[in-house]
Chains A and B, each alone.
Chain A
């Protein structure tokens, strides 16, 4: 059994992190009635106050202290497989410190995977300098993260709105179970005041839970975290994965006939279910992972892949670029669920927009002095960061260019007969 250490950075990261621990505990409590500290749960916790595991980290001046805390966490794991870093790109702490930590982790624990959940700034952002923060963070993500799961608040907000609409419309046959993990904090360990971002944070927390479910619970086709990187990252730079989670609400019927199950698969590819504003269906797939939980068998999975394949475009050298997993244990309150991770050129617009917003600020040198007065920061950092991002965008452009080309058969090795 491997362990993961979650590093929550900044206000955003910590809020999400707290939701995550509540949900994880609830999930494991539901699976293991006896409440024994079993193997699966040990993947996230040590037998101490669990709130101590998620840290609030302060200031890059405290590198040694941070490292100390991380080392201590790592020591408690007898097989540390992965660091999950949760942070935002727009703020100061999450963005700066969060990505600084990546380099630290890479140096200190080179064999441990670094998965980063990054909240990208939306259109209306309350932090004026968020484009600067984001660009600088992107460079670090490019170079030091194994996998990045970009998420944006606007998409989360849209998803939550959709759920509330369904709840309020009282559509026939659609009854949201009041204790649905997605929408409420009912049943969580402490009585928190419901904060404005709670529902959105719950969704992200669900993402992490589902990502690790196949590593924690048994199933007929397991998928460990190291398999995510192996299968979904064809080239080191291209490690940005667009995620979608379905279903987002439980329905009243318990025995869901196959038609509904298939709907879950269709939804995973619709742009309304993506956790970032992106439309993978109309862009190019480099690779796609489907992580299914619950009473779903290989035939259901295959049937849906066959059904959906024709409407999706995969890069020529990865026409069957599907990675699949089947975990027997569904999330609490659902009979089955699906997490889709797509390495798809649809992230490109997000990056382009990021660069444009950066350029608008940078051209006028607005607020730049706040950064330059910090030791170690100079204009070169900015230009380097923009170059790095441009190079990344260019790689996606090149891939997109291959979309309309006919698939050529590469001549095979010929052997003497």
Chain B
């Protein structure tokens, strides 16, 4: 089954390019540890999901590119075309002349309705190219105006027009110390709208990815390109093919469907985060070896101590003893707090993958009480290694780890809202104080629900 990607705004398009590039590169990476037949099956599966084909044989990304100003899309299209390895469809993009001005209201109320028909047509054309549609993957930021506002509008539209297909929104959370001054307002409006219309929100925080670049990849002058490539690597390790089940050697058909089933058991809880191990510069990789035991031990501790990377993990954090009543409301400021999960999905790729022992992830203490670990925890595997990593593990989790960042965003937005600063910019385009209040209410509810796990 295929996934149609929609890239929105500068962020969405810059990242989208890196994602397709990472998927393609991995797919064509020479493999030492699996058979030729295995590799071919993997490549075929990846292709079905993400690329279609044209007469000249160059794979075409199953993507629709949307932006309200032309510079980024032009760059993205030409970068892909120049690589000679894959490209975007000639007529798969829509761009306008004037951006959304970082204004969610403008993206949502003006650009959205204005370009609804054209965008939905582009999406429809892409959907028709698929034999079978798994769903949509929408890449956007929530700080700006197009990705955030137009993204929210579009997701609602997709929910109406493709009610049987799944939608996963890949949302980029901006740096805490601003990129955009009104980013917190835009974030509130985006998240609250998406919570109602999307099936899952896969979150990446710029701050976290930046640290990975600095500490793990040892990049000195970190650019957005570096950040986007790390992000793309993480997404690739989640979305590339894996076997459909224990003991099977066929690749699973419906990755989005399976992800939702495994990770989003309840519509109140749909915020997902990704962790990936190991992540390092190519130079270091050549000199490193890993064991599954080591990788999984780190990954588990990253989960429970809420670390976003394998350096600086707090090993003091332990799960609460089983059998004891769950502690009341999670104190957000507590140092050693333990990160409770609703559901976890571990994805293992590489050599001897079947020998990996995942017992520690099945510990009921990791999970909230209303789900059994057998439901809450899932594993996907493939012997086929990812990129140049002989062994790699990804963890997609639905847990409390996004509560603190979300709480901070809501806090800052609320503070600004109380002073009424910038509101005139939104009311100008039909987003009133009430709409903000609705957004705040919904997100406070989400924070409370997650905190009380």
Contacts and interface: CB of A to CB of B under 8 A. Distances in A.
A298 B223 contact: yes
Contacts of A305: 177
B179 A226 contact: no
B99 A298 contact: no
B421 A412 contact: no
Contacts of A298: 210, 222-224, 227
A168 interface: no
B60 to A, nearest CB: 24
Interface in A388-410: 409-410
Contact of A317 (B180, B223, B421): B421
Nearest to A261: B221
A321 B178 contact: yes
B414 A413 contact: yes
B97 A1 contact: yes
Contact of A320 (B176, B225, B418, B422): B176
Contacts of B222: 297-299
A201 B410 CA distance: 45
Given A297-B223, A323-B178, A417-B452, A410 B101 contact: no
Given A230-B103, A413-B441, A415-B448, A287 B14 contact: no
B99 A224 contact: yes
A412 B97 contact: no
A318 B181 contact: yes
A222 B97 CA distance: 14
Given A226-B101, A236-B424, A413-B440, A218 B180 contact: no
B384 to A, nearest CB: 33
A23 interface: no
Interface residues of A, number: 48
Nearest to B440: A413
A414 to B, nearest CB: 7
B72 interface: yes
Given A317-B419, A415-B445, A235 B102 contact: no
A86 interface: no
A227 interface: yes
Interface string B36-69: 0000000000000000000000000000000001
B177 A231 contact: no
Contacts, number: 138
B102 A221 contact: no
Contacts of B444: 412-415
B389 to A, nearest CB: 25
Nearest to B179: A324
A318 B421 contact: yes
Residue from the set B69, B222, B422 with the largest chain A CB neighbour count within 10 Å? B422
A222 B178 contact: no
A229 B145 CA distance: 13
A224 B70 CA distance: 12
Residue from the set B178, B412, B448 with the largest chain A CB neighbour count within 10 Å? B178
Contacts of A414: 444
Contact of B102 (A81, A231, A299, A317): A231
Contacts of B98: 2, 79, 81, 224, 226
5 contacts: A220-B14, A231-B180, A232-B181, A234-B421, A319-B412
Interface of B: 10, 14, 69-72, 75, 97-99, 101-103, 145, 175-182, 210, 213-214, 219-225, 227, 410-412, 414-416, 418-422, 424-425, 437, 440-441, 444-445, 448-449, 452
Interface of A: 1-2, 39, 78-79, 81, 218, 220-222, 224, 226-227, 229-236, 258, 287, 297-300, 302, 305-306, 309, 316-324, 326, 409-410, 412-415, 417
Interchain residue pairs A-B with the least CB separation, the first 6: A226-B101, A299-B222, A234-B421, A79-B97, A317-B419, A297-B223
Given A231-B181, A297-B223, 20 more contacts: A81-B98, A220-B14, A222-B69, A224-B99, A224-B101, A230-B102, A230-B422, A233-B425, A297-B224, A298-B222, A299-B213, A321-B178, A321-B181, A323-B181, A412-B414, A412-B444, A415-B441, A415-B445, A415-B448, A417-B448
